[in-house]
Structure 1
Amino acid sequence: MKVRPLSVWSLCFGVLQAFAVPQMSAIAANANTPAERQIWMSVGERRFAVTLADNEAARAFAAQLPLTLDMPDLNGNEKHVKLPKALPANASRPGTIRNGDLMLWGTDTLVVFYLTFESPYSYTRLGRIEDPAALPQVLGRGQVRVTFAKE
C-alpha cells in the first residue's frame, strides 16, 4: 500500500493535536499563578501576605475584596466573622489547624487561626497566611479590625 503525503501529514497533525492541545488547555486552566493568588491581610500597621488556595471558594472570596471586617475572638485561638456573601464550600476535616490557616466554616464564616491545635470540625481551606509567627500578638484576645485586599 502506498501512503500519500497528505495522509501522512494528516496523521502527524492528528498526533500533534492529541498531545499539544491538552497541554495548551492545561496551561490556560492553570493561569492562576502564585502572584495572582496572593492577597494581603492588614491588622493595624501590620501587613501579612496570604496565599490563596486554588479552589472555587478562595476565588469567590478574592472576588469580594477589599473587605474590612471586625473579627471577634473565639476560643483563644481564632478570629471569625460572617462574610457579606456566602462562598461555595467544599469542607473537609483537616484534623490539625495551623497558625496562619485561613478557612471557611459553613458557607459564610471566615476564620483566621492564630494558634495550632487539633479540631474535629470541617472547614473549606481558603488560604495560608505567610510568616504567621506574629499573629498571636497582632490579633490579641479581643475583637480586631482586619482588612483583606488584593494590593
Structure 2
Amino acid sequence: MKKSIPTPLRRLRREGLAFLAGSILGLPACVPGIAVAAPSTGASAAPSQEFPMKIRLQVDGQPVTATLDDNASARDFAALLPLSLTLTDYARIERIAYLPRKLTPAGATAGMPVKAGDIAYYAPWGNLAIFVESGDANYSGGLVRLGRVETGLPALQRPGPLKVRIERLPD
C-alpha cells in the first residue's frame, strides 16, 4: 500500500521550508526561482521504491529472489544496495556477512522464531543473517526480520563461503 503525503501538505511543507529559510537569510518568503534544500541529516536517503521491495541475490552465479519487509531496518538495508558480500556458515542454520555499516535496530526483538528463508539483521553484531534451516521457537534476541527468500534457497544452503551480490529488482 502506497503511503504518500497529500499534495496540499507537500506544498505546505515545501513553502514552509522556503519561508523558514527566507526568514533566517532575510529573504522574502516567496522569491520566485529560489529553491531551498532541506538540511542534510547525514543519514542515507530512503529509497524511493515502495515496500515490500523485491531483491535479487546472485549467489555464485545462481539467482535467488527475496522480498524485503516494510520496516526501518529493511529500508536502511535497501539504502545500501547494490551490495557485494561473502556469506559464511554460522551455527549450521544460517549464512552471515557483516555489513558496511550498522543498520537502525528499530524493531529488534527479545527473540523470534526463525524459518528457513528468513532474512534478518542481528543488531548486536551488525550482521546480515539468512536462515537456511528453521531454528528454535525463540532463536536469539536482537534479531530484526528484514524479509524472506522467495525462490532459490538451495543456492544458499550449500556450504560457504558464498560470494553474493544483492540488488533491487526493477518495478
Using the size of structure 2 for normalisation, the TM-score is 0.63
Residue 104 of structure 1 and its aligned partner are, at CA, apart by: 0.3
Equivalent residues in 2 for 1:56-95, closer than 5 Å: 56-89=72-105, 90-95=107-112
* 1:28 and 2:4 are equivalent in the alignment: yes
Which residue is equivalent to 2:139? 120
Aligned to 1:131: 151
Q: Distance in 2 between matches of 1:93 and 1:47?
A: 32
* Number of residue-to-residue matches in the alignment: 121
* Off by >3 Å, runs of 4+ in structure 1: none
Whole-Å separation in 2 of the counterparts to 1:132 and 1:93 = 29
State the distance in 2 between where 1:33 and 1:75 align.
30
Structure 1 segments unaligned to the other structure (5+ residues) = 1-25
TM-score (normalised: structure 1):
0.71
Q: Out of 125-134 and 38-47, give the one that drifted further.
A: 125-134
Q: Indicate if the aligned counterparts of 1:52 and 1:126 stay in contact, CA closer than 8 A.
A: yes
Structure 2 stretches lacking a partner, 5+ long: 6-48
Give the superposition deviation at 1:69: 0.5
Hey, what's the Cα distance between the residues in 1 that align with 2:147 and 2:99? 16
Q: Which residue of 2 aligns with 1:54?
A: 70
What is the SS of the residue equivalent to 2:109?
Answer: coil
Q: Which residue of 2 aligns with 1:148?
A: 166
Percent identical residues: 27
- 1:44 is displaced (CA, Å) by 1.8
- Measured in 2, the distance between the counterparts of 1:117 and 1:132 equals 19
State the Cα distance separating 1:93 from its structure 2 match.
4.2
The answer to whether the Cα contact below 8 Å between 1:99 and 1:132 also exists between their aligned partners in 2 is no
**Structure with greater Cα Rg:** 1
